[in-house]
Structure 1
Amino acid sequence: MSSTNPTRLDETMGPCEAECPARILDLLTSTENQHAIEWRQRCRANVARRARKLSDGDRIRLPEPIKFTDGHVAQEFIVSKRGRRMVLRDPETGGLYRVSRLMERAWSIVPVTKIHKTIFA
């Protein structure tokens, strides 16, 4: 309800944004309205996407290449964490890049074979 429009709005009236936090979704009662069910599913998918974790050194791949302001185009990056900041390093050029709203984007972790040093006792 807003001060300029005293009409009560709810999820069956067509919310387009699907950014509802999990703590609010958990408070909702069950519904049979198909639109509300689909909206809740989109919200849960967004919550799950933002909850993914990346570690320093992870290699990620975006579904399509991104063109940066310096003209560089890349699709695969290595995660480099610097404190709380995260930058992406191009594995070929070593250039550092930032991608806005990275955790909300579709990306996948590329499996990398790690070679560990053999220690003889």
Structure 2
Amino acid sequence: MTESTTSEGWTTVDGVRLTVLVDDTDTWHHRPVYSEIVHRAHAAGLAGASVFRGEEGYGVHQLVHTTRLLSMADDLPVAVVIVDRAERVHAFLPRLAELGLEGLLTLEPVGILTFDGRGTPGTGPGTGTGTGTGGAHT
């Protein structure tokens, strides 16, 4: 793990961004699967998770879904983005496997910037020392 602090008080920590792409109609025990993923990430103590709705897209079945046509306004793409340190995200992956996801998952390295607003570097989301959610919304 690499960590560096700038003279301005920002701390950069190595992390990963997990993106899970699913359909908005996918469910797990009568709950939207994207919501289940966010709640599992929260319960696992990950730094943050957010859901982004797509306007148009296609997946493995090669059928384009869009909000522009009422007849095809279902099965729209939804991206769940989770960011934390690599070891924490990797430890979370078995919780996703339990869901039997049919969507696409990607994992990319990121630099997590933290700043607590008081000039104390290294506190907050992704550093293991703060209580923030990194902008997660449920």
TM-score grouping bracket, smaller chain normalisation: under 0.3
TM-score normalised over the length of structure 1: 0.26
TM-score normalised over the length of structure 2: 0.24
Larger relative strand fraction:
2
